[in-house]
Amino acid sequence: MITVTSPLLPDFEEFTALAREIWSSRRLTNQGEFHKRFEEALCRYLDVPYISIFTNGTIPLLASLKALEITGEVITTPYSFVATSHALKWCGLTPVFADADPRTGNLDPQSVERLISDKTTAILPVHVYGNPCDTEAIKRIAEHHGLKVIYDAAHAFGVRRSGRSILSEGDLSTLSFHATKVFNTLEGGAVVCPTAAMKHKLDNLKNFGIRGELCVEEVGINGKMDELRAAFGLLNLRCVDAAIAARKERSELYRRLLGNASRVAFTERDTATEHNYSHFPVLFSDREERDRVYGLLLDHGYHARRYFYPLITDSAPYDTCRGADATPNARHISDRVLCLPLYHDLQLKDIEKICTLINNC
Ligand SMILES: *Cc1c(COP(=O)(O)O)cnc(C)c1O
C-alpha cells in the first residue's frame, strides 16, 4: 500500500552517534544541549528571530493562546485538522467559524470581519497546504478591531513569500513536526515568536510555569521536547531541502500528467511564494466523483486522503458553534478535495499509475 505520506528520516548511523552522546551525558530532557542547538539551527534555517520547540504541534497552540492571554471568542476555520479547534476548547475559548476562500481553502478575511463581536479577541487561521493566507487583509482587520492573530502554520514549514518567512506573520505562528509533515521529529512542534520576552514566556509555559527551583509563576503545562528528538531534528534539518526539492519534482509531474484531464482542478497557490509542497490536493466536480476516485485508487493500493473532509463543524463538539452552519465555500472544497500521495521518495512510476487511473476513471 502506498500511503499519502511517508516520513523523512535522517541517516540511522548518524542518529545512533548522537544517541550515544546523550546516553553518556545522561541528560535526557529539560532543555538540554540538543534542545538549545536545535532551536538555534531552526532559527537559522527558517530565518525567524526566536523559536520555542515543543513535544508536539498541539501544545504550541494551547501555549500561544495562554501566552497572549486570549479570552472569549476566537474566529477560526472549519477547513483544518481538528487540533486547531480543539486548542480553543481546551483553553476554555469559544470557536466561531468563518468561511474559506474556495480557491485555496484558507480563511476568507471578509467572512472573518462579518463575525466579529464584542467578545472576539483573536483570529486563528491556518496556512492550508502550506499556501499562505491573505495575511495583509487579516492584519488590517486585526489592527482595526484590536485582535491578536495566531497562525496555525503546521503545514507551512520553511515557506517564504517575497523572500520573507511566512512564519513571521501574525503575533505568533505554530508548527507541527509530526511524522506526517514535510519536516518531522517523530512527534514535535514549535512556536515562532518575535521577541526574546515572548520566547521566555513560552519556554516557561511549556515547563509547568516554573521559574527557578522554588517559584511557580503561572499555570503552565508540560510541553517540552526531549534530547533524543531534538538530536533527530538537527539531523533531519540537513535533509529537508533535498526532500522539498524532491516533492517539487513530484508535484510538477502530477500537474503535467493531470493537466489535460478536465475532471480535476487544482487549488490556487500564491505565485510569489517559495512553496514546501506539503500536499498535492486536487478537486473533483462533486463528492460522488471524488469518493469514486478515492475508492478506485484504494483498490489499486494507493491510499489518497480526503483532507479536509468532513469539516470540523460537522463533528459533534462544533456543529452548534456560531458560524458553523454558514460556510458554503469550505463545504464545497471539502466535498471535492483529494490529497494524492506525495513524499520525497515516492516512486515516479507510482505517480504515473495514479494519474492514469484518474484520467481513465
Ligand atoms: C498536524 C496538524 C496539527 C497538530 O499537530 P500535531 O503535531 O499532530 O499535534 C495542527 N494543525 C494542523 C493544521 C495540522 O495539520
Map 294-360 to HEC letters. Answer: HHHHHHCCECCECCCCCCHHHCCCCCCCCCCCCCHHHHHHHHHEEEECCCCCCCHHHHHHHHHHHHH
By the 8 A CB rule, do 156 and 127 touch?
yes
Instruction: Give the Å distance between the CA of 9 and the centre of ligand 1.
Output: 19
R_g of the chain, CA atoms, integer Å: 21
For residues 124 and 105, give the distance between their C-alpha atoms in angstroms, rounded to a whole number.
14
- Tell which one of 84, 150, 339 to mutate to probe ligand 1, the residue whose CB is within 8 A of the most ligand atoms: 84
Query: What share of the chain has pLDDT > 90, as a percent?
Result: 97
Ligand 1, residue 178: give the atom nearest the CA: 7
Average pLDDT rounded to a whole number, residues 197-208:
98
Type of residue at 95: P
160: its cell numbers: 517564504
Q: Lowest mean pLDDT: which of 55-59, 137-141, 173-177, 263-267?
A: 263-267
Categorize the per-residue pLDDT at 171 as very low, low, confident or very high, splitting at 50, 70 and 90.
very high
- Closest C-alpha to ligand 1, atom 7: 57
Query: What share of the chain has pLDDT > 70, as a percent?
Result: 100
- Pairing relation of β-strands 94-97 and 120-124? unpaired
Ligand 1, residue 80: give the atom nearest the CA: 13
Instruction: Give the Å distance between the CA of 330 and the centre of ligand 1.
Output: 19
Ligand 1, residue 128: give the atom nearest the CA: 13
For residues 282 and 51, give the distance between their C-alpha atoms in angstroms, rounded to a whole number.
33
Q: How many CB atoms lie within 10 A of CB 219?
A: 9
Contacts of 69 (CB under 8 A, 6+ apart): none
Instruction: Give the largest CA-CA distance in the chain.
Output: 68
**Residue 261: its pLDDT value, please?**
72
| 3 pLDDT above the threshold of 90 | yes
**Residue 361: its pLDDT value, please?**
85
Q: In the block, which residue shows the cell 492514469?
A: 356
For residues 141 and 148, give the distance between their C-alpha atoms in angstroms, rounded to a whole number.
10
Instruction: Give the Å distance between the CA of 152 and the centre of ligand 1.
Output: 8
12: its cell numbers: 540511522
Q: What is the pLDDT of residues 144-167, one digit of tens each?
A: 999 999 999 999 999 999 999 999
| 230 pLDDT above the threshold of 90 | yes
Categorize the per-residue pLDDT at 334 as very low, low, confident or very high, splitting at 50, 70 and 90.
very high
Instruction: Give the Å distance between the CA of 133 and the centre of ligand 1.
Output: 17
Quote the crossing angle between the two packed helices 287-299 and 328-336, to the nearest 10°. 30
Instruction: Give the Å distance between the CA of 99 and the centre of ligand 1.
Output: 20
| 29 pLDDT above the threshold of 90 | yes
Residues with CB under 6 A from ligand 1: 56-58, 80-81, 83-84, 126, 152, 154-155, 176, 178, 189
For residues 344 and 293, give the distance between their C-alpha atoms in angstroms, rounded to a whole number.
23
**Residue 262: its pLDDT value, please?**
73
- Return the SS3 of 233: helix
Ligand 1, residue 83: give the atom nearest the CA: 10
Instruction: Give the Å distance between the CA of 357 and the centre of ligand 1.
Output: 30
Instruction: Give the Å distance between the CA of 88 and the centre of ligand 1.
Output: 14
- Burial code (b: 16+ CB inside 10 Å, e: under 16) for 38-75 equals bbebbeebbebebbbbbbbbbbbbbbbbbbbebeebbb
Position with higher pLDDT, 194 vs 213: 194
**Residue 81: its pLDDT value, please?**
98
| 69 pLDDT above the threshold of 80 | yes
Alpha-helical segments (H) within the chain: 12-25, 33-46, 59-67, 83-90, 109-115, 135-145, 196-205, 227-237, 240-258, 287-299, 328-336, 348-360
**Residue 203: its pLDDT value, please?**
98
Categorize the per-residue pLDDT at 263 as very low, low, confident or very high, splitting at 50, 70 and 90.
confident
pLDDT averaged over every residue in the chain: 97
Categorize the per-residue pLDDT at 321 as very low, low, confident or very high, splitting at 50, 70 and 90.
very high
